Structure 1
Amino acid sequence: MSTNIVKVAGVEVSTDHWIGGKRVASKEKFANFSPIDGSHLADISAGGKSEADAAVAAARKAFPAWAALGPKGRLPYLKKFAEGIRARANELAAVETMDNGSLLMGNIHRVVPRAAQNIEFFADWALTLDGHVIDSPEVVNHVKYDPAGVAVLITPWNAPLMLTTWKVGPALAAGNTVVVKPPEWAPLTCSLMADIAHEAGIPAGVLNVVQGIGEVAGDALVNHPDIDRISFTGSTDTAKIIGRAAASSITPLSAELGGKSPFIVCADADLEAAAQTVAGQYMNAGQVCLAGTRIMVEKKIEEEFLEKVRTAASHMVLGDPRDKNTRVGPLIHKEHFARVVGFVERAKADGAVPLWGGSQANIGELYFEPTLFAQVSPGLEISQKEVFGPVLTWQSFTSDDEVVALANNTRYGLAGTLFSQNEKRAMDIASRVTAGTFWVNCFFIRDLAAPFGGAKDSGLGREGGNWSFDFYSDIKNIAVRKDSFAG
C-alpha cells in the first residue's frame, strides 16, 4: 500500500491512484490547494496513459466475476459501501470542505448522506429489474439488463463526492466495473471513497481511481479502446471533446453539462418563499449547474419583490465555509475566480448595473460578493453564458408568452424554477420552458427515481431510476415463442 499519505483536516488521505486494489504512485505530481486560505494540501499523483491502461485492464479483469454476482450478489457489498460512507461522514465532509470550499455543515448534513444514499438506492433499484416481461400475441418478451462492461466516470469539482457516487452507484449496481477520474481541483474525497470501497470488500479492480489533469489522464481514459461507457459531468466545451472520442469508438456517452436556468416569479406567488429561494441561488458560491441565475419577475410586483430579495440576500453571510454561520464560501481556484471576475467586468462594460455586490470581498483571495445585475438585455453575455459564480441577473416580464421566450433564449436547457400559486398557469409555463428538470414552488429537490439530465447544450441522456440502468446496461430482449416448450 502507498506511503504517500497527507493529513487534511486531521484526516489521513492517500495522494496516489487506486488501481486493481492497490495504491499506485506516479512520478509526475500536481499541486492541490485549499480555496479557503490558499494553503497547500498535497502533491497528487498525476496519471497518464500508463495509469489509464492499468486501471482499464484491472477493471476488465474484475468484470466477469462482478457481473456474474447479479443484483442480489452485489447488494451486500454495496450496502456495506454505503454504510462505510455514513460512518465516515464527518471526515469526508471536513476533507471536502478543505478541498473545494463548500460549506462544512452542508456537507455533513446533506452532501455526504446523499452520497451514501446514491450507492444504496441503486443497489436496491437493481433488484427490481429482473423478471420484466412483455406479453405479445405470439411470443413472451423477457427483457434483460446485462452489465455493459467497463465504465469511465469523470466527475466535477463543485460536488466531487456526491456526483461521483451518483455515477458509481448505478454503474456498480448494474454489474459494471468502473474507472473514476476525479477533478484535479478537488480530488481528495474520491481517494477516501476508494478506501471505503476497499474496506467494504468491493473486489480488487471493480472500482479504480485515476487522478490527473483532464487533458492527460481524462484524455487517455475516454480514448481507451477497451471501455464500454463514458459518463461525464462538467462543461459543454469539454463534453464536445469527449463526445468526439466517444464517437470514434461508438462508446455510449452520458453528459450532464452546464446551465443558465431561469427563475420565474409570478405576481401570484408566495413572495417571501420565492425571495428566500432566490437568495439560496448563491449557495456554494454560485458553483451549482442547476442554479436559477436568471431572475425573471412579473412587472407588477418588481419593486416589492426586489426589496424582499435584497433582505433575504443580506443574510447570505460570506466567509469561511467551516463556520456554521457562513452561507457563501470561496470560489474554487484562482483560475476560476479570474473567469468569474471577467464576466462581471464585461457585464459592467456592456451597461449592466450591479444592484449589489460586483466585487471581490476583502476577506480572502477567492471570495466574491454575492451579486445581482439589473438593466440586463437578453442578448448580453451575462444573460447567455454560464458564470458559475455568485452572480444573478434581474429581468421583468408582463406576459407568460414573454417570460417563456426569455427563459428559452439561451443555448442551455438544464433546469428551471417557477413560483406561482396558480396551478394551471404554473404547469403551462413549466411545460413550455425547455429544461430537463423544472421545479414549481421549490428548488433543488432531486428524487433518485426521477429522470435527471439536460436539453440542448446542457447535456445528453438521462440518469436516475430506470434511466440510469438504461445507460449502464446492455438491454437484451429474449423473445420466446409461446408454447414452444410445451410438453
Structure 2
Amino acid sequence: MNQQDFADIRKQWASDAGPVVDMLIDGNLVQASDGRAFACTDPYSGQDWGQVPLATEQDVDRAVRAAHRAFEEGVWRRKPAAQRVAVLRRFADLIEANARDIGLTAVRENGKLFSEMYYGVLAFAEDCRFFGTLAETVHGYTIDMPMPGYSAWTRREPIGVVAAITPWNTPLNLLGWKLFPALATGNSVIVKPSEFTPVSTLLVAKLAIEAGIPAGVLNVVTGAGEVGNWLISHALVDKIGFTGSGATGAKIAKVAAERHARVSLELGGKSPNIVFEDADIDEMLKWTVLSLFATAGQACNAGSRILVQRSIHDRFVEQLAATARNVRWGDPLDPETQMGPLSNRPQLAKVSAYFDCAREEGLSVVAGGGRPDHPGFFVQPTIYADAKPDSRLILEEIFGPVAVVIPFEDEAEAIRIANDTRFGLAAGVWTRDLARAHRMIEAVRAGTVWVNTYRVGTHAIPFGGFKASGIGRETGIEALEAFTEVKSVWVNHG
C-alpha cells in the first residue's frame, strides 16, 4: 500500500463509526449480559470509534466456568499433540491471511506505526506456528533408580485454566507470548485485553473459532480494571499471565498467592543503553530511532537511560539531540512517519507530567520536552541531560519517547550506574571491544543484553526480567514449560 491508500483509509475512518464487536465465551460471540458497551479512541485523531462489550461479573464467571469445563472434559488437552498442532497451524494461517486488516485495526486502537503493527501481526502468526510445533516436544524424563524393583519418570501436564491479561502497547504480540504456549500445552484460556486495545484481540478470537479451537478452550472478555479483578480473583483460575505495570503486577501476585495460583509477570523496565567511546555512534543512533522513537517509547524494554562515556558525552548529546529533532512524527498510517502518537489519553497525561517534573528538577532539555500543536495524543521526541541520580526521570519508567543521557568515566562506573535501578529487564552495550562486551554481558543485571543492536527478538529466545521487572520468562522453551506442571511417577514392580 502507498500513501494514497492510507489517506483513503484515514478518510474512511473519519466517516464511519467503526464496528460493533463481540466477546467470545464458550464458543459463542456475545455482547455483555447487561448490554453495556464502550468505545475505543483513535490516538491520532482523538475520536471515538467502535462498540466493545463491557463484561459483567456474570460474563467473567461464565467464561471461567466454560474454560474449566472444557479443561475437565479434556476436549483440548486430551487431543493428541499432532491434532493440536494442526489446529494451531490453521489458526496461524488465518491470522496471516488477515494480517492487513488486523494490523490496520491495531493502528486505529493503538496509534503505533502501521509498519510495526503489520509485521507484528505476521510475527504473531509465526509465534503461533512456533509454539504449536513445540506441542509435540513436551515430555518428561526417566530416572535410573538405585532401588531394585522401582521405575520412576516425570510428565509435563497442563496447569488448567489460564487468565491472560494483556497491555495496550503491543497487544497482539504480548497476547501470543501467553496464548500460544498455553494452548500448545493443553490449557484453557481466558483473555482480558486492555480496554484501550480490545478490538484486534476480538478479531483474532473469531479466527480461533474458524480454526477449530473447541468451545470453552479460548474465551475473551473485555472491559477495564474491574473485569481484570474479577478474573484474577476467580477460584477456578489456575494461572495468571500478565504484562503491565509493576503496581498492578504486585497486586496480581498478592491475589494469586492467597489461593496458590501460578503467575508469570512481565513488568516494567528502565533499561540502560551503554555507549562506550569506541562505539559506532551512527549505528547506535539508528537503533535509537527504531527502538525508542518508532514505538513512541511505549516498550517495556526501551533504552531510555542512555549512559555515555564522558570522553564523547558532549558530542554524542549534540548528535542525539539532532536525531530526535529530525524524527518525523505524524500519522502512523503514513509510510514516511517515524513516530506516531501515544496510545491513549491517560498515557498522554502521564508523559506530560514528567515534562513538568523535568522542569521542576532543572534538567537540561536538549530536544523536545513538550507537546506539538496537533490533534491527538502526540508528544515531542525528547532528550534530557544533567539529571541527578535521584531524578524521577532516571528512576521511574516514563513509557514515552523520552530519554535521559547520563555520563560515566569508565567500565566500572558504567556497570554501577546500569545496575543502580530496581528494574532489570534489558540493556544495550555499544562497543567494538569484544572482551569488554563480554564483561558487560556478565556484569549487567538484566534479562536481555543486546550488543551493538537493540530491541531485536525472536520467539525462540526467552524474554523476561530480573528484580522488579517480573517473574518468569516468555517466549522460548521456557515459556512452554511455564504453562505446565511437573508430575513425578513412581512404580513398584513388586
Q: Do Structure 1 and Structure 2 share a fold, with TM-score over 0.5?
A: yes
The Cα of 1:465 is off from its aligned counterpart by 2.4
1:276/1:59 CA distance change after superposition, 3 Å = same
Number of matched pairs: 475
CA–CA separation in structure 2 for the residues paired with 1:157 and 1:356: 27
Contact 1:282/1:390 (8 A) holds in 2: yes
CA–CA separation in structure 2 for the residues paired with 1:261 and 1:42: 36
Correspondence list, 1:329-408, <5 A = 329-408=340-419
1:191/1:418 CA distance change after superposition, 3 Å = same
Alignment partner, residue 3 of structure 1: none
Contact 1:145/1:469 (8 A) holds in 2: no
Counterpart pick for 2:124 among 112, 115, 123: 115
The Cα of 1:315 is off from its aligned counterpart by 4.0
TM-score calculated relative to the size of structure 1: 0.94
CA–CA separation in structure 2 for the residues paired with 1:156 and 1:14: 21
CA–CA separation in structure 2 for the residues paired with 1:449 and 1:144: 23
Contact 2:325/2:368 (8 A) holds in 1: no
For the pair 1:60 / 2:68, whether they are aligned, the reply is yes
CA–CA separation in structure 1 for the residues paired with 2:348 and 2:474: 31
SS at match of 1:68: coil
Alignment partner, residue 284 of structure 1: 295
CA–CA separation in structure 1 for the residues paired with 2:441 and 2:139: 35
Counterpart pick for 2:31 among 25, 29, 41: 25
1:328/1:21 CA distance change after superposition, 3 Å = same
1:271/1:231 CA distance change after superposition, 3 Å = same
Residues 11-61 of structure 1 deviation map (CA, whole Å, 9 limit, x = unaligned)? 985522110111221222222111110121123211131011100111112
The Cα of 1:203 is off from its aligned counterpart by 1.0
Residues 368-394 of structure 1 deviation map (CA, whole Å, 9 limit, x = unaligned)? 000000111111000000000010001
Contact 1:125/1:465 (8 A) holds in 2: no
For the pair 1:180 / 2:187, whether they are aligned, the reply is no
Counterpart pick for 1:327 among 338, 351, 362: 338
Correspondence list, 1:150-169, <5 A = 150-169=161-180
TM-score calculated relative to the size of structure 2: 0.92
For the pair 1:417 / 2:417, whether they are aligned, the reply is no
SS at match of 2:212: coil
Stretches of structure 2 that go unaligned for 5 or more consecutive residues are 1-11
Contact 1:147/1:472 (8 A) holds in 2: yes
For the pair 1:16 / 2:22, whether they are aligned, the reply is yes
- Aligned-pair Cα RMSD in Å: 1.9
Contact 1:8/1:95 (8 A) holds in 2: no
CA–CA separation in structure 2 for the residues paired with 1:307 and 1:140: 68
The Cα of 1:366 is off from its aligned counterpart by 0.9
Q: Report % sequence identity.
A: 36
Alignment partner, residue 267 of structure 2: 257
Contact 2:135/2:184 (8 A) holds in 1: yes
CA–CA separation in structure 2 for the residues paired with 1:92 and 1:378: 43
Alignment partner, residue 4 of structure 2: none
The Cα of 1:80 is off from its aligned counterpart by 0.3
SS at match of 1:286: coil
Alignment partner, residue 473 of structure 1: 484
SS at match of 1:184: coil
AA paired with 1:74?
Answer: R
SS at match of 2:295: helix
For the pair 1:307 / 2:318, whether they are aligned, the reply is yes
CA–CA separation in structure 1 for the residues paired with 2:482 and 2:284: 36
| Range 378-387 or range 276-285, more displaced | 276-285
